[in-house]
Chain A
Amino acid sequence: MSVRDWRAVPGDDARAEPVRLLLVQEEERPAVDVHEEDMLMTFPHLVVRELIALLVLSLALVVVSLVFDAPLEELADPRRTPNPAKAPWYFLGLQELLHYYPPLISGVILPGLVVVALIVVPYFDVNLQRAPFWETGRRRKLGGVLGVVAGLTALFMWSGAHPVWPLIGPTWAVGAVVLVPAVFGTQGRLRHWLGVRSLSFWVFTWFLVAAIVLTLIGVFFRGPGWSFTVPWTDGIYY
């Protein structure tokens, strides 16, 4: 019997009829596998190992810098600017977004939202039990998934300077995979695995796939004037 099931009834008198209550707090920690281990002090045992790792990494970098020269190009010339001018590869997803939205949205608001989300997520009750998404309310959630996919499609189709296919594509792909267990059942290992994933898993998968697609397109499929190029015929611009 949990705390929520217990209730006082008029006429209950603890002095006349003592009742012992054993209250068991529900498990609300994230689902992690924990087992007791022997403990050591951080200093010196761990700090020494960290210093070793630091030195090994530094030495590796020194050796690499001694053996290989940095791939520098000729001196910059303001009369001949490179086209396309590409950021480092890890920024090319954001640069690809700049193709669709103004700098304030692509460069400030969207990355800012991601950072804010990462900061505030721990303060919300985010599905700590990691319940399978399709466990309950199948029909309602079916409509919900289709609605979210349609809504995001409309948003990315008409909100930018061009339809944002690098976001619409992942939205459709992840939406289709989410629907697989609900439409085709959960027979077989793969479909069972998909069926027991939680909502948070799918949200983060969407974010990850979208970020990877944006970056891949920025790295391999963009040429002069940020035009669409295909690497196997036009080569890779960097």
Chain B
Amino acid sequence: MPAAKDLAQARILYRNLRVLAALSVVFLGALAIAPAKEHLT
């Protein structure tokens, strides 16, 4: 049985990994949109 402290750290890490994944998607989207800026405005 892992200690409560380790579990808490694992949860934080899991949450951060999800944040990282979401941000990566947003970032790739921004990179895809940026060159099309001329057509947006």
Contact = CB atoms under 8 A, between A and B. Distances in A.
Contacts, number: 38
Interface string B3-30: 0010001001100110110011011001
Contacts of B19: 52
Interface stretch (A56-64, A73-81, A84-92, A191-199): A56-64
Contacts of B27: 55, 58-59, 62
Interface residues of B, number: 17
B20 A52 contact: yes
The binding surface of chain B is classed by DSSP as: helix
B1 interface: no
Contacts of A49: 16
Nearest to B40: A66
Interface of A: 38, 40, 44-45, 48-49, 51-52, 55-56, 58-59, 62-63, 65-66
18 contacts: A38-B5, A40-B9, A44-B13, A45-B12, A45-B13, A48-B13, A48-B17, A51-B20, A52-B20, A55-B24, A59-B23, A59-B26, A59-B27, A62-B27, A62-B34, A66-B30, A66-B33, A66-B37
Interface of B: 5, 9, 12-13, 16-17, 19-20, 23-24, 26-27, 30-31, 33-34, 37
